């Protein structure tokens, strides 16, 4: 039986495994397990035992998804926590075979769009800074590369090219599928060809070698998929960050691009220069880093249009079924198609995004 079928056959994790994880975390008591809503990729539960609240995450696995999300997230949180970085949940125990991990439960709420201002952005910068103060620590070398990590401009372009090509395989089973195939063919593919050509030309004008591989000193430890869509505001007013399944070593320019290109909780563009300058201060080649990030920004804006269309791909659909998100698939697909259209059409005709631009 495929791994995802085995997981889907049980609505809750194995109770004995949960007890063992609790014991490893120092909680030896009977427990109550309550599912939490909101996860689109995994199943998440609130564990209450002996007056303690913890979070249990049951990770989706699929034969076509080679990344070990549990191992990546748990290792990243453990590395950060052991270095004194406290804006991530403390990792407590894990069972790789059962795809389960136990974490600190963070009391908090999702940030509203109008709350994304000076202090949350400063908290994001502090997180990246604190994390990367330890990127040369021997244990950092044990962390994996981030999901879709790229270490040259050509790798960034090829990564998005693969995503665009993957969308050509959408099956036309329903009306929204057919609309999406038409959108990909008539709008997304031609726009991507334009964006890629402009990026290559801009690299030439700025004397950036598209094939030069970043040295280890130029790379960063990246939370990946980083933004306020993966953050909570605690009752005390601090921001805590979540969801590090894609985290690892990566190009810090990609971190900048993703931070401002994600659309679930958009970061106001007026913070672009501040965020870019702050991360440039951590780089061995700050000027080159700034140019690369600005050159790649439109590339990643288009990539996020592709990401919105993941709903039409078989592996993503299997993740949604496993997570039990409760959303109607056809309704969800229509929402994502609408979102992809908006993102693509918001790309300016002039794709350059200069470091000193005034928002």
Given this model, what pLDDT does residue 358 score?
A: 36
The pair of structure tokens assigned to 329 is 């698939």
Q: What percent of the chain has pLDDT over 90?
A: 80
Q: Which band of pLDDT confidence, cut at 50, 70 and 90, is reported for residue 197?
A: very high
The pair of structure tokens assigned to 307 is 């990401």
The residue that leads in pLDDT, 3 or 149, is 149
CATH of 113-345, one of 3.90.1200, 2.60.60, 3.40.50, 3.30.460: 3.90.1200
Given this model, what pLDDT does residue 323 score?
A: 47
Contact between 54 and 27 under an 8 Å Cβ cutoff? The reply is yes
Q: Distance between CA atoms of 220 and 36, rounded to whole angstroms? A: 32
Given this model, what pLDDT does residue 343 score?
A: 92
Which of 33-37, 191-195, 348-352 is least confident?
Answer: 348-352
User: Does residue 1 have a pLDDT over 90?
Assistant: no
User: Does residue 154 have a pLDDT over 90?
Assistant: yes
Q: Distance between CA atoms of 236 and 218, rounded to whole angstroms? A: 35
Q: Distance between CA atoms of 39 and 212, rounded to whole angstroms? A: 38
List Cα–Cα distances, 20 to 25, 26, 350, 358, in angstroms.
9, 10, 57, 55
Q: Distance between CA atoms of 250 and 122, rounded to whole angstroms? A: 21
Contact between 255 and 224 under an 8 Å Cβ cutoff? The reply is yes
The residue that leads in pLDDT, 347 or 18, is 18
Q: What is the mean pLDDT of residues 310-331?
A: 68
CATH number assigned to the domain covering 3-104 = 3.30.200.20
Q: What is the mean pLDDT of residues 219-247?
A: 97
Contact between 343 and 186 under an 8 Å Cβ cutoff? The reply is no
Q: What is the mean pLDDT of residues 249-275?
A: 95
Given this model, what pLDDT does residue 40 score?
A: 63
Given this model, what pLDDT does residue 12 score?
A: 86
Given this model, what pLDDT does residue 159 score?
A: 98
CB atoms within 10 A of CB 213: 13
- Average pLDDT over all residues of the chain: 90
Given this model, what pLDDT does residue 60 score?
A: 84
User: Does residue 318 have a pLDDT over 90?
Assistant: no
Contact between 337 and 309 under an 8 Å Cβ cutoff? The reply is yes
Coil, strand or helix: which one is 233?
strand
CB atoms within 10 A of CB 326: 7
Per-residue pLDDT reduced to its tens digit, 111-146: 999 999 999 999 999 999 999 999 999 999 999 999
Q: Which band of pLDDT confidence, cut at 50, 70 and 90, is reported for residue 7?
A: very low
* Domain residue extents for the chain: 3-104, 113-345
Query: Can you give the chain as a three-state secondary structure string?
Result: CCHHHHHHCCCCCCHHHHHHHHHHCCCCCCCEEEEECCCCCCEEEEEEECCEEEEEEECCCECCECCCHHHHHHHHHHHHHHCCCCCCCCEEEEECCCCEEEEECCCCECCCHHHCCHHHHHHHHHHHHHHHCCCCCHHHHHCCECCCCCCCHHHHHHHHHHHHHHHHHCCCCCHHHHHHHHHHHHHHHHHHHHHHHHHHHHHHHCCCCCCCCCCHHHCEEECCCCCHHHEEECCCCCEEECCCCCCEEECHHHHHHHHHHCCCCCCCHHHHHHHHHHHHCCCCCHHHHHHHHHHHHHHHHHHHHHHHHHHHCHHHHHHHHHHCCCCCHHHHHHHHHHHHHHHHHCCCCCCCCCCCCCC
Contact between 73 and 247 under an 8 Å Cβ cutoff? The reply is yes
Sole residue written with tokens 């969308």: 167
HSE of 197, CA atoms in CB hemisphere, 13 A: 8
List Cα–Cα distances, 215 to 122, 142, 153, 251, in angstroms.
27, 17, 13, 10
Contact between 128 and 85 under an 8 Å Cβ cutoff? The reply is no
Q: What is the mean pLDDT of residues 336-344?
A: 94
């Amino acid at each position: 039986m495929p791994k995802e079928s085995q997981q889907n056959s049980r609505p809750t994790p194995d109770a004995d495994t949960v007890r063992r994880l609790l014991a490893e975390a120092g909680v030896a008591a009977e427990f109550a397990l309550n599912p939490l809503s909101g996860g689109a990729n995994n199943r998440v539960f609130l564990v209450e035992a002996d007056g303690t609240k913890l979070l249990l995450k049951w990770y989706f696995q699929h034969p076509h998804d080679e990344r070990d999300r549990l191992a990546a997230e748990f290792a990243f949180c453990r590395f950060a926590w052991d270095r004194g970085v406290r804006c991530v949940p403390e990792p407590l125990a894990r069972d790789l075979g059962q795809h389960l991990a136990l974490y600190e439960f963070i009391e908090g709420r999702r940030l509203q769009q109008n709350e994304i201002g000076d202090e949350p952005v400063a908290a994001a910068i502090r997180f990246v800074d604190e994390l990367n103060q330890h990127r040369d620590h021997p244990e950092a070398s044990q962390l994996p590369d981030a999901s879709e990590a790229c270490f040259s401009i050509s790798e960034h372009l090829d990564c998005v090219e693969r995503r665009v090509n993957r969308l050509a395989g959408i099956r036309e089973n329903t009306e929204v599928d057919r609309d999406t195939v038409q959108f990909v063919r008539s709008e997304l593919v031609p726009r991507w060809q334009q964006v890629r050509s402009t990026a290559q030309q801009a690299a030439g004008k700025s004397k950036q070698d598209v094939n030069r591989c970043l040295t280890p000193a130029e790379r960063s430890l990246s939370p990946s998929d980083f933004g306020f869509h993966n953050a909570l505001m605690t009752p005390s007013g601090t921001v805590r960050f979540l969801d590090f399944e894609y985290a690892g070593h990566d190009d810090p320019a990609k971190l900048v691009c993703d931070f401002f290109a994600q659309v679930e909780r958009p970061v106001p563009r007026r913070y672009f220069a501040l965020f870019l300058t702050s991360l440039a201060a951590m780089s061995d080649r700050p000027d080159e880093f700034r140019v690369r990030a600005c050159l790649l920004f439109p590339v990643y804006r288009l990539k996020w249009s592709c990401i919105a269309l993941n709903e039409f791909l078989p592996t993503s659909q299997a993740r949604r079924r496993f997570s039990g998100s409760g959303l109607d698939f056809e309704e969800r697909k229509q929402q994502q198609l609408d979102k992809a259209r908006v993102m693509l059409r918001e790309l300016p005709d002039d794709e350059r995004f200069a470091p000193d631009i005034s928002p």
